[in-house]
Structure 1
Amino acid sequence: MTHQDFLRSLVDPKDRTPLTLSDDGKTLSSQAGTTYDVLEGGIINGLYPKDLLAEDAREQYLYDQAYLRYDRGVSWVFQTLNDSDEAATRQFMIGLMELKPGMTVLEVGAGTGKDSALIIDQVAPGGTAVLSDLSPNMLRLATEKLKSETVDIHFLLANGSYLPFADDTFDALFHFGGINTFSERKQAFEEITRVVKPGGKVVVGDESVAPWLRNRPTYATLLKANPLFRAEVPLEDVPANALDFKLHWIFGNAFYVMEYKVGAKAPEVLIDLPMPGKDFVDNWRVRAEASDREKAE
């Protein structure tokens, strides 16, 4: 996907109508007249809403301040978590997407590009990596670090709850390390699933100490020191068309990562399928209706 193809693939994150590139190449405009700037280095500012919700604005500010020390700090965190092997665990997470050369992948929350580099390696040659983040400073640092002669790389400022892409754009999507703080988390799950083709993989992870460890002394200290680790795995936000769902605990069981395939539609139970071997009507619907009658009596 060339840069021009990438620009043509973008839609208004508000209403998903096409965007038109200006003659000077500096802005993209929606049919409603909303404009999105093309920044230095070709980074697209696709953020919506323009005035972020309070929690998202706070996270953007914090990451913009911490971008130069972020990688060192994260590596220290992982070392404290049972001296976890950061490189091997990142390889494990990226491997869950089952990437192949030539694929088109979106990373939401690319940060400084640690995981992005692994994605780029796995879709080479001929693939496309679209790397988005909420923080301009983090994304600029990633543009300095990530280069490839065989993979098209595109950078985008975007809110994970409002992605500027049409349905079924990507072969896979990855996000690690921010979903728990999203102001509109359920909508973000809907968005990151919407833009992946049916059959494609979604991989998402963040902080959450495993339930069976929360009363252990050192983990209890961690929960007091950093409230992010108190987060629960957001299973209730996973879309109904998530298929083959799996949940993994990583980094000393203080982080989770979930994987699922995107289904063309949500699965259904065959509640009217007759039970074999019966000489009377029996199925799940009949049993449910009988249960309702018993409760009513």
Structure 2
Amino acid sequence: MPEALKINAEILPSAIELACCLSCGHRLEGRETCASCGREHPEVEGILHAIGPLTGTNRIAAQFYDGPNWSRFRPWEQLFLWFQGPGPRVARRQILRHLPQQAQARVLEVGIGDGENVPLLPPTWDIYGVDIARTQLAVCRDRYPSMARRLVWAEGESLPFADQTFDAVYTIGGFNYFRDQAQALREMQRVARPEAPVIVADELPTLYRLAPGHALGLEAIDRWGLRLMGLDVDFIDMVLNCRVDLNTLARDAFPGHRRFPIWNRLGYCLVNPDPRRGPVLCR
């Protein structure tokens, strides 16, 4: 681990020190048991558990990313980013450039997964992450030991942090399949400090329409292809039934946002408030 990361990991607060009770909102202040209502928030092997039973698309997504099919599909995701970047790092930097340009920042990634964006951020930043897939959080912790005790098993629709905690909040990929996108946007803005950027990026919700089966009116072709790529039946149904009205959602929940096309216009990046900043200091 770089020396700067070692020092930073030792002095910054852990997630449980910043967290609030999922039931009553009382600050945990480093305790696993809420002093107000008694709800337990165990910290297990460096990952804070602040989650209830998963439902809807969050349940489907968590089962996929926690299961064996994710490793089968992962090369296809990387191939997509290679063509859009070119390369995954360049593709991700199309989004990360909207983060604030400052030496010190406390940031939250919603849907951090296995931590692909962690090495692209300044080593002096205090990075925290939440995800609905417990397995992916464990991989992130193992890849980047400095992230231990800064990871939270939680939903984007119910972030266990106090208002105005972070200098930036962002999510990259997967937003189209959140259980409640509007609620997640409200939560991300709630935990961001005033004027802090909140960034949401994903592929276009209508991307599935470019598949050959859709053009031919033969959905079975697309289902067969997605199964070969590693997606399970429930996840395929979720993809093909995605009906996110991005324009309405952004207008109602992100009234001051600016929209940027990314990934050769196959993806979108919403930034709220409308950014007037330079690029982030990425390594």
Normalised to the residue count of structure 2, the TM-score between the two structures is: 0.74
| 1:252 shift after superposition | 3.2
Of the three residues 191, 195, 199, the one matched with 1:199 is 195
* Contact preservation (8 Å) 2:24, 2:37: no
> Matched residue of 1:36: which SS?
coil
Partner residue in 2 for 1:141? 139
* Contact preservation (8 Å) 1:106, 1:174: yes
Q: 1:108 to 1:255 in 2, by over 3 A?
A: same
Within 2, Cα distance between the matches of 1:52 and 1:210?
25
* Contact preservation (8 Å) 1:242, 1:262: no
Q: Could you list the per-position Cα deviations for residues 138-174 of structure 1 after superposition, in whole angstroms to 9, with x for gaps in the alignment?
A: 11111111245xx997111111000011110000011
| 1:219 shift after superposition | 8.6
Partner residue in 2 for 1:10? 19
Partner residue in 2 for 1:87? 89
Q: 1:202 to 1:20 in 2, by over 3 A?
A: closer
Give the number of the structure with larger relative contact order, counting CA–CA contacts within 8 Å between residues 6 or more apart: 2
| 1:8 shift after superposition | 2.2
Within 1, Cα distance between the matches of 2:30 and 2:184?
26
Partner residue in 2 for 1:271? none
| 1:33 shift after superposition | 1.6
Residues 215-294 of structure 1 mapped to structure 2, 5 A cutoff: 220=215, 225=222, 228=239, 231-232=243-244, 234-238=246-250, 242=254, 244-261=256-273
Normalized per residue, the structure richer in strand is 1
Residues 115-130 of structure 1 mapped to structure 2, 5 A cutoff: 115-119=117-121, 122=122, 124-125=123-124, 127-130=125-128
Q: Could you list the per-position Cα deviations for residues 101-139 of structure 1 after superposition, in whole angstroms to 9, with x for gaps in the alignment?
A: 2100000000111112213xx2x32x2100111101111
Which has the higher Rg, Structure 1 or Structure 2? 1
Partner residue in 2 for 1:266? none
Partner residue in 1 for 2:33? 28
* Contact preservation (8 Å) 1:111, 1:133: yes
Amino-acid identity (%): 21
| 1:14 shift after superposition | 3.2
Residues 18-167 of structure 1 mapped to structure 2, 5 A cutoff: 18-19=27-28, 21-22=30-31, 27-29=32-34, 31-40=36-45, 42-47=46-51, 50-65=52-67, 66-69=69-72, 71-79=74-82, 84-119=86-121, 122=122, 124-125=123-124, 127-147=125-145, 154-167=150-163
Partner residue in 2 for 1:174? 170
RMSD: 3.3
> Matched residue of 2:260: which SS?
strand
The residue type paired with residue 154 of structure 2 is A
How many equivalent residue pairs? 247
* Contact preservation (8 Å) 1:208, 1:255: yes
Partner residue in 1 for 2:204? 208
| 1:71 shift after superposition | 4.0
Within 2, Cα distance between the matches of 1:54 and 1:87?
31
Within 2, Cα distance between the matches of 1:38 and 1:153?
8
Q: 1:178 to 1:82 in 2, by over 3 A?
A: closer
Normalised to the residue count of structure 1, the TM-score between the two structures is: 0.71
The residue type paired with residue 246 of structure 1 is R
Structure 2: runs of 5+ lacking an equivalent:
1-8, 227-235, 276-283
